[in-house]
Amino acid sequence: MLSLSTPVIGLAVLLVGVQVVYSALDMLNISYGAAAVRDADTWIRDGLNISDPERILAYQRSTTILSRIQSWVGLAILLAIVVTGIYTDLTRALTQTGLTPSIQGVLLIAGAVAGSRFLSAPFDLYKTFVIEDRFGFNNQTVMLWLRDWIIGLVIGLIAATLIGGTVLWVIEAVPSLWPVLGWLIVIGVSLATMVIYPRVIAPLFNDFEPIESGALRDAVEDVFSRAGFDCEQIYEMDASRRSSHSNAYFIGFGRAKRVVLFDTLIEQMSTNSIQAVLAHELAHWKKAHIWKQLVASTIQMGAVFAFLWWITSSEWVYTAFNLPSVTYAALGIGLLYAGPVLGLLSPVTNRLSLSHEREADDFAAETMGGPAAMTQALQTLAGENLQNPFPHPAYAAFHMTHPPIPTRIRRLREQYGDDNINDGLLDGDDSSAETDGDADDDPATPAA
């Protein structure tokens, strides 16, 4: 058992305090969202095509409560490991193995990754086979879930030990420069991930079929042409094997960039709405959002490494937590301090993403000749995924990287009017892109 020195108490207060803040935001969000959904009953029924708005609230409550229980259980275990001295005993035992400090650190990282995966498994099982099943989203079998879990564990172990091991080796080899070199390693990994993930990792979980012909391909080529892009890598992903949730995403750069549409999204949306979603995703490349986000995360990681440098160079950390004199032991404690602080800074760091989403919405409206297709796409995403479109503003500030859907719709209509400027530009049935109702409340976010 560690002596309850100021640093130990401070860490516990920081971790528990942030958890209390998040729990309060969750409760506030549920209460606020319930009142807003009931006030907007007509818009939700007509605009989102949800016959029973109470299902939104029930789904939100179920997922939020489970997530918060998981967070508190994880925190309790973490505090027990640190405060009772288990972490200290582990690091001291590793120093007695005769292995190099970098290998010792890799073993500690591997244990942390595996422990986290095993801890989250029962919660993920419950969410998938109880909550998601109850609301009609789950299409996954237990064997498929287990396969995904094992693959995820292996990938997590490989990635964490390779990256962590490289940084720890740098600490040994160049102790005076490790924060700078470690920072550069993380930047390199971020760039490499944008190429490796779509080509190597994602295909381990899903099948990706190129959209090469037919009406959808024609519609895709049309929107690419109007957006000023050559139509290259557009894929349909078999998301329906696991869930009926729908989404789309853009990833990569250079020749490795690709747009991925969930098969569920293709099934749920009209051609016009799919075109609008594509235009929105293309905007993230057209407007250099990917690079701007990378620069922002690079600056943030630079600050984290500077903090870790200070922590690992401070004698009080080793004394307060009774740690052996190896850098990786203090790094673990430093990350525990840094994580909650980064969470509290989310309202600041999310602002860049929010501005990018607004720019992408504008680009979609301009590319489509008006806002109707984009607003319909947003409503479909919210309705099909049972998203509560009305989060509390404080909750949204901490958790939302996209503006709330009613806010996005209202903004598009204010800037571009209610209808497409030139419906003749668009393929498909224009009537399917009409929108109903007004959104008067301040609200939530899909992932378009």
122 burial type by CB count under 10 A (0-12 exposed, 13-18 middle, 19+ buried): exposed
Residues 6+ apart with CB under 8 A from 158: none
SS3 273: helix
| Angle between helical axes of 289-312 and 178-196 (0-180°, round to 10) | 150
Tokens at 73, concatenated: 């259980």
280 annotated as ligand-binding: yes
Structure tokens at 80: 């027990």
Distances in Å between the Cα of 261 and the Cα atoms of 100, 213, 222, 233, 235 are 46, 15, 16, 11, 6
- Yes or no: say if 114 and 153 are a contact pair by the CB < 8 Å rule: yes
Strands of the 234-237 sheet, one edge to the other? 208-210, 234-237, 258-262, 248-251
List for the chain the helix, strand, coil content (%; round to 5). Answer: 75, 5, 25
289 annotated to bind ligand: no
Q: Which of the following is catalytic: 26, 222, 281, 384?
A: 281
Does 361 participate in catalysis according to the annotation? yes
Q: Token match 């209460």: residue?
A: 31
Of 37, 12, 63, 85, nearest to 391 (Cα)?
37
* Six token digits for residue 365: 């409206």
The stretches of 84-141 forming alpha helices (DSSP H) are 86-95, 101-126, 132-134
3-state secondary structure of 329: helix
- Choice among 361, 384, 441, 442 that is catalytic: 361
Note whether 289 and 359 are within 8 A (CB): yes
Amino acid at 11: L
Question: 330 and 311 in contact (C-beta within 8 Å)?
Answer: yes
State the DSSP H helix or E strand holding residue 397, giving kind and residue range, or none if neither.
Answer: helix 393-399
* Residues 110/165, Cβ–Cβ less than 8 Å: no
Identify the bridge partners of residue 234 per DSSP, sorted by sequence position: 259
- Ligand-binding annotation for 366, yes or no, is no
Q: Are strands 248-251 and 234-237 parallel, antiparallel or unpaired?
A: unpaired
Which amino acids are annotated catalytic? 281, 361
Residue positions forming the annotated binding site: 280, 284, 357
Residue positions forming the annotated binding site for Zn(2+): 280, 284, 357
